[in-house]
Amino acid sequence: MSISICAACAPATPSKAEINEALNNRIESTIASENKLWEDLNIDNYQIEVNESSNWVDYTLTLTVKNNDVVNFEARCGYAIIDIDGSFCKETLPKISPNDHTIQALFDGLKKSRKDFESNLGKDVSTSWGESITITFDSQYHYPQLIKFDNPEVADEEYKIEILNFKTLQD
């Protein structure tokens, strides 16, 4: 009995670019499907507490959303490593648009984040968008509970957005 081994017949090992493209596509697909699940719930009235933080600034917003419009919001500064006295945060708070922190706005930001990454950082780093972003979704309501971006090749660009509290409101 003889055994033949054909190395040329074996499937090619995918390149790093092919692996990254598959990862990126899988993440985009997950974002789209979670967004669809969120939309299917038809939750137009809710209150959320959202924390956005980086080395440069840390703040928490409490938003009340009715009929998908922000009707009330409060903002407060937290502690950022480089903004020890909170002065940068205090300058930042008046510029924050609460509409950028609704659940649909977070989904919209995620949907365009790959294109933004590839046009801004993608040419200068070997790490892909999919290797730089971490997203977890709420298992009941499907909103993005944690969005974390950290490219290991770039210093001090990491940030995260986290929904700390969420509750539905009656009409």
pLDDT digits (tens, 9 = 90+) for 56-76: 888 999 999 999 999 999 999
Banded model confidence at residue 99, pLDDT cuts 50, 70, 90: very high
Is position 3 within any domain?
A: no
Which pair of structure tokens corresponds to residue 145?
């509970």
- Highest average pLDDT, of 54-58, 71-75, 116-120, 149-153, comes from 71-75
pLDDT of residue 125: 64
Is position 27 within any domain?
A: no
Banded model confidence at residue 33, pLDDT cuts 50, 70, 90: very high
Is position 151 within any domain?
A: yes
Range of the domain at 158: 34-168
pLDDT of residue 135: 93
pLDDT of residue 145: 96
Q: Which residue has the higher pLDDT, 68 or 16?
A: 68
Is position 10 within any domain?
A: no
Question: Which contacts qualify for 129-137: CB closer than 8 Å, 24 or more apart?
Answer: 129/24, 129/27, 130/20, 130/23, 130/24, 130/26, 130/27, 131/20, 131/23, 133/27, 135/27, 135/30, 135/31, 135/110, 137/30, 137/34
What pTM value is reported for the model? 0.84
Is position 23 within any domain?
A: no
Is position 161 within any domain?
A: yes
| Per-chain mean pLDDT for the chain | 86
pLDDT of residue 108: 93
Is position 118 within any domain?
A: yes
Is position 113 within any domain?
A: yes
pLDDT of residue 14: 80
- Indicate the number of domains in the chain: 1
Contacts (Cβ under 8 Å, ≥6 apart) of 135: 27, 30, 31, 110, 144, 146, 147, 148
